[in-house]
Chain A
Amino acid sequence: MSATGTRRIVNIGPFHPLLEEPVGFALTVEGERVVHVDARMDYIHKGIERLAQQRTYDMIPILLERICGICSVTHSVCFCHAVEDLLGIEIPPRAKYIRTIIGELERLHSHLLWVGLAGHFIGYNTVFMWSWRYREPVCDVFEMLTGHRQNSALPMVGGVRRDIPERYLPDARKALDTLDGKVRMLTDAVMDDPVLAARLAGVGVLTPQQVVDYGVVGPTARASGVDTDVRRDDPYAAYDELDWNVITRTGGDVFQKAVVRLLELTESIRILRQALDRLPAGEINLGLQHVPRGEGIGRYEAPRGEDIHYVRSNGTNMPERLKVRAPSFTNIASFKASCLGAQIADVTITLAACDPCYSCTERTAVVRNLDTGREESLAELVERSRAETRRLATEMGRRPDLDLPGE
């Protein structure tokens, strides 16, 4: 801590128990009051835009799934939107519904993760335990339908790569029925809790004007009464055929941001039920597309807000330029407004309230072997991980249970 007159600087990060990823905040404080916030962002920048510009249009969605640990559907579908905008094509109805289903499952597990973390940050671990408990079945449904809890590898330009298996749809519906009751209980418990209201109301307020000036998007903007949602404003997938509501609240404090996300959980379940019921038969993609010269912009409502991708093609099979702007890029910058005048004790939950995602903001990693200069493949990474597990098991005198039959 350094002192200049009565002002001091308090550093949070770059590595801190409250931050799930590395980022540095320097709070300038007078006593307990924050008068300036500075963020340092460069810890996990790995140049994914440049990496994507060296890959073909069919490979890029797989790469972009790895931008973020949560928003894997977001970035790959948003890229597909940009290229489909360039091509001027409409994807088949079944693909639209499949994209809706995986997108809403992602929103469910992302919001549940945030609600749990927010509870944890203010020392309310009951909320954390509930929320993360309810998140598991959502990831299970995602795995049933796509084969993986996070990275589905489904989206491709012109549709989706694989169909979702019909035989798991009844199980998915059953899981949603169970989840619906739990989510309503959790929402009521949080909204009626006088302690949470006292702790969070009036904290980290963003005014509607600040929301527009900072370009804030998603639930963070909707909690301030700014009625914006790409799913309704610039409809994609099957959202314009389904019955659902955009949740907005007024006040713009941390409590309202939590309420918006909780109420969106119920809306997501509504959307999912309709999409599962109405899932049309038919083609799931248009096949590989030749991308001519041109440019396109894709938008997508990520759990954290509007995602934007810009693609420029020079007629080859790789884009000349891909620009990725994740919602956290604008939401994190709004800390300068929402933390100003706050007490230090309120800053952490204010920082958490926009559900910040630093890897999205700075974009992804690859692993390269220094001896060979080559990027390692997935199989090599898996083998490295297994070798490490075997080594640890041997050291501990235990038998590693990794080896599956046939290996």
Chain B
Amino acid sequence: MDAGELGGRLEAAFPGRVRWTARSPKRLYATVPADALLEVFDWCRAGIAGFRLGTSTVIDLPDGVGVFHHFAINGSPLVATVKVVLPRPDPRVASLAQRVPAADWIEREMHDLLGVTFEGHPDPRRLIKAEAYFDVRPQSRDFDPAAFRADVDEELRNRASPAEGRPDASPTGKAEP
């Protein structure tokens, strides 16, 4: 199946709810409303053998927060990207991890990077970001790397300062000379 064929079948199955473009026979980009995501996923998974979640991208778009699920099919060159765009300030979408464990970690990562809430996720803990920076959203347009660095440096300097009197307080774990 090529990208155009899958796009046409999606449009027929979900009339008026899917907008798609095929940039090449092996790359499909389809935009669906957030409330149709699970239905579209179930439809694809039931009808296409070897349909699996490759990965997902979270992105801060001018008109909202984008969650792009990239699906691959074993044995096929086709990558189908299903996009939902969620309104700020509280982006929410149904979790695919309810259906397949492949979505578990990537949804947790997307929550860490841009604060998207995945409703129905069985285990929505943080995955890759340290506890200390829980409120920092590194993929946000408002994220200022310079200010973040200044904060972290300040904290490391405080930890390294001999005034605390702890020999293990330096970031290297060794006492400063």
A contact set with B: CB distance below 8 Å? 41-42, 45, 47, 49-50, 54, 85, 88, 212-215, 221, 226-228, 233-235, 294-297, 299, 306, 308, 310, 312, 320-321, 323, 325, 329-330, 333-334, 336-337, 362, 368, 370, 373
For B129, the chain A residues whose CB sits under 8 A away are: 42, 45
Q: When A212-B52, A308-B55, A310-B70 are in contact, do A50 and B79 touch as well, CB less than 8 Å?
A: no
20 A-B residue pairings within 8 Å (CB atoms): A42-B126, A42-B128, A45-B129, A85-B23, A214-B100, A214-B101, A215-B52, A226-B50, A228-B50, A296-B27, A299-B79, A306-B54, A308-B55, A308-B70, A310-B57, A310-B70, A312-B59, A325-B55, A337-B101, A362-B128
Give the CA-CA distance A402 to B105 in the complex, in Å.
Answer: 45
Closest residue on chain B to residue A38 by CB atoms:
B123
Across the interface, do B79 and A297 meet the contact criterion of CB distance under 8 Å?
yes
Q: Considering residues A215, A228, A312, which has the most beta carbons from chain B within 10 angstroms of its beta carbon?
A: A215
Across the interface, do A228 and B74 meet the contact criterion of CB distance under 8 Å?
yes
Across the interface, do B54 and A215 meet the contact criterion of CB distance under 8 Å?
yes
For B26, the chain A residues whose CB sits under 8 A away are: 234
Closest residue on chain B to residue A229 by CB atoms:
B75
Q: When A227-B74, A295-B29, A308-B54 are in contact, do A215 and B130 touch as well, CB less than 8 Å?
A: no
Q: When A228-B75, A299-B79 are in contact, do A330 and B102 touch as well, CB less than 8 Å?
A: yes
Give the CA-CA distance A370 to B155 in the complex, in Å.
Answer: 11
For A54, the chain B residues whose CB sits under 8 A away are: 145
For B130, the chain A residues whose CB sits under 8 A away are: 42, 45
- Of B75, B102, B128, which one neighbours A233 at CB under 8 angstroms? B75
B81 within 8 A of A: yes
Q: Considering residues A42, A297, A333, A373, which has the most beta carbons from chain B within 10 angstroms of its beta carbon?
A: A297
B13 within 8 A of A: no
B53 within 8 A of A: yes
Give the CA-CA distance A370 to B156 in the complex, in Å.
Answer: 8
Shortest Cβ-Cβ A-B pairs, 10 listed: A215-B102, A325-B55, A234-B77, A323-B57, A228-B74, A45-B128, A215-B52, A321-B59, A310-B57, A213-B100
For A226, the chain B residues whose CB sits under 8 A away are: 50, 74
Closest residue on chain B to residue A297 by CB atoms:
B79
- Within B107-147, the residues touching A (CB, 8 Å) are 126-130, 138-139, 143, 145
Across the interface, do A212 and B74 meet the contact criterion of CB distance under 8 Å?
yes
